[in-house]
Amino acid sequence: MISQVRDGAGVVARLRFRLPSAWGRGISRCRIHHRRESAQEFRLSDRVTTTSRLSEIVALVASRGFQTIDALAQHFDVTVQTIRRDLNALAAEGRISRYRGGAGLPSSIENMEYARRKVVHLAAKQRIAALVAADVPERASLFINIGSTTEQVARALLDHQHLRVITNNLNVARILSENTDFRIVITGGMVRNGDGGITGQATRDMLDQFRADIGIIGISGIDADGDLYDYDMDEVICSQAIIRNARRVFLVTDHTKFGRPALMRVGTMAQVSALYTDMPPPPAMTALLAALGVALHVAPPEMPPGSAAS
């Protein structure tokens, strides 16, 4: 390391000295640590920006209908390649329908296939499930309905004791059967080959024979006015029976369901005790939940790789 020293006559002397090796290593580590933190902050900031843009694209399509790639690129001041990637990601989540040259509203009469629903936002559904499981007491009686998020809730409940569960979901029953301490009731009815759901009037009639502490339900779409929607009439009447016969209703849903259209009305947010999700809902929805007295639980965000607390 080089330093300059000026004497009283103004003569400058250059002194060269060597820092202890430990100091040098410490400075290098600080620089590396700073670069890592800066990179992590940049990735997190970029993720927030992308998430915000995706949500705004969905809102634009919902309010204005079909949007062209060029118009969206101009609106957000990004490249058309960026918009194409955004639209492909949103279409994979079922939040929009992808068309040549742009995007439009998703179908309100058909849900995405179960194999895709299982893996879309899996990490978010697991965080939601952990939050729900923490609020389910031991020795509780539960309804659990059809859905990929409720299946993750079932897995998160495996460490509980003495639960009594009524379900119209074969996958939920299979997961919960890993805990031999649980008592599980599977409803009668017609089995859907695609996702293991059990639906129909026979299912509804059996659900009406029980009164459970908590009904844990998933949903396909939540309208801005708080109405809850799904795609299949036979499934809807079963979810309505669960809401009707549960002392408390826990609604579990990831952020993509806000504003998503579906055909059949299940009920209203006023019938829900608590909402569990992975991201804060739109401000208007948050205000509605507060006005209705619905408890809002937002799962903590996923930590970026390498950002674990030291």
Q: What is the pLDDT of residues 197-242, one digit of tens each?
A: 999 999 999 999 999 999 999 999 999 999 999 988 999 999 999 9
Query: Distance between alpha carbon 69 and the CA centroid of its chain, in Å?
Result: 26
* pLDDT score for 225: 94
- Beta strands (DSSP E) in 170-298 are 183-186, 190-191, 198-199, 212-217, 221-222, 227-230, 246-252, 264-268, 274-277, 295-298
Residue 132 contacts residue 125 (beta carbons within 8 Å): no
Distance CA 251, CA 240 (A): 13
Q: With bands split at pLDDT 50, 70 and 90, how would you rate the model's confidence at 303? A: low
Helices (H), the chain: 21-64, 69-76, 80-92, 114-119, 122-134, 148-156, 170-176, 201-207, 233-245, 283-292
Distance CA 62, CA 96 (A): 9
Radius of gyration of the chain (CA): 26
Q: Does 41 score more than 70 pLDDT? A: no
Neighbour-count burial for 262-301, b at 16+ CB within 10 Å, e otherwise:
bbbebbebebbebbbbbeebbeebeebbeeeebeeebbee
As given in the structure block, the two tokens for residue 237 are 């009447």
| pLDDT of 33 strictly over 90 | no
Please report the pLDDT score of residue 116 as a whole number.
53
Mean pLDDT rounded to a whole number for the chain: 82
pLDDT, one tens digit per residue, over 108-147 is 444 445 445 545 568 899 999 999 999 999 999 999 999 9
CB under 8 Å to 294, separation ≥6 — which residues?
269, 270, 272, 273, 274, 275
pLDDT value of position 98? 83
Per residue in 86-103, pLDDT tens? 988 888 777 777 888 888
d(CA 300, CA 184): 30
